[in-house]
Structure formats: C-alpha cells, structure tokens
Amino acid sequence: MNNDVTTLISVQFTQELNSLLNTIVEENNTTKTEFIRQAVIEKIEDMYDIKVADEAYKKWVECGKKLSHMKK
C-alpha cells in the first residue's frame, strides 16, 4: 500500500462536463479521482517540459544560435 499522505481537493464542474467525465471514466474502467489525478500529473509534466525547452531555446539564442556538430 502507498504510504504517501494525500490531500483532499474539491473541484466543481458544470453538469455537462461532469456528464462527459462520467462517460469517459466508465468507458475506461477508472474512477473520476484517478482520471483527474492522471490528467493533473500529465499537465504538470507538460508544463515542466515546456519550461525546460523554453530555457534551452533562450540559451541557444543568447549563444548566437550556433549548433555544435561532431565531425566524423
């Protein structure tokens, strides 16, 4: 069993979004909690990846947009 401490978070959805969520979780044999948890994790990972890429691009531009190539 996972021993991580968890925090309860409440979100409110429109009836339309809640209905869509119900359909999706039923079709995918999961729970709303697990579906939303996974969606949040994926969003955080995406945002982190974008931040890292933006920082790398900024550094590349600041260095004169030079690519380093390995010669064979």
Q: How many CB atoms lie within 10 A of CB 34?
A: 11
Whole-number pLDDT of residue 67: 62
Residue 21 has pLDDT above 90, yes or no: yes
What is the overall mean pLDDT for the chain? Answer: 91
User: Residue 63: inside a domain, yes or no?
Assistant: yes
pTM of the model as a whole: 0.75
Task: Please report the sign of the dihedral spanned by the C-alpha atoms of residue 49, residue 51, residue 55, residue 58.
Answer: positive
User: Residue 60: inside a domain, yes or no?
Assistant: yes
CA pair distance 54, 66, nearest whole angstrom: 16
User: Residue 43: inside a domain, yes or no?
Assistant: yes
Res. 9 pLDDT band, cuts 50 70 90 = very high
User: In this predicted structure, which of 16-20, 23-27, 40-44, 64-68 has the lowest mean pLDDT?
Assistant: 64-68
Phi, then psi, of 58 in degrees rounded to 5: -60, -45
Q: Residue 50's domain spans which residues?
A: 32-67
Say how many domains are in the chain: 1
User: Residue 61: inside a domain, yes or no?
Assistant: yes
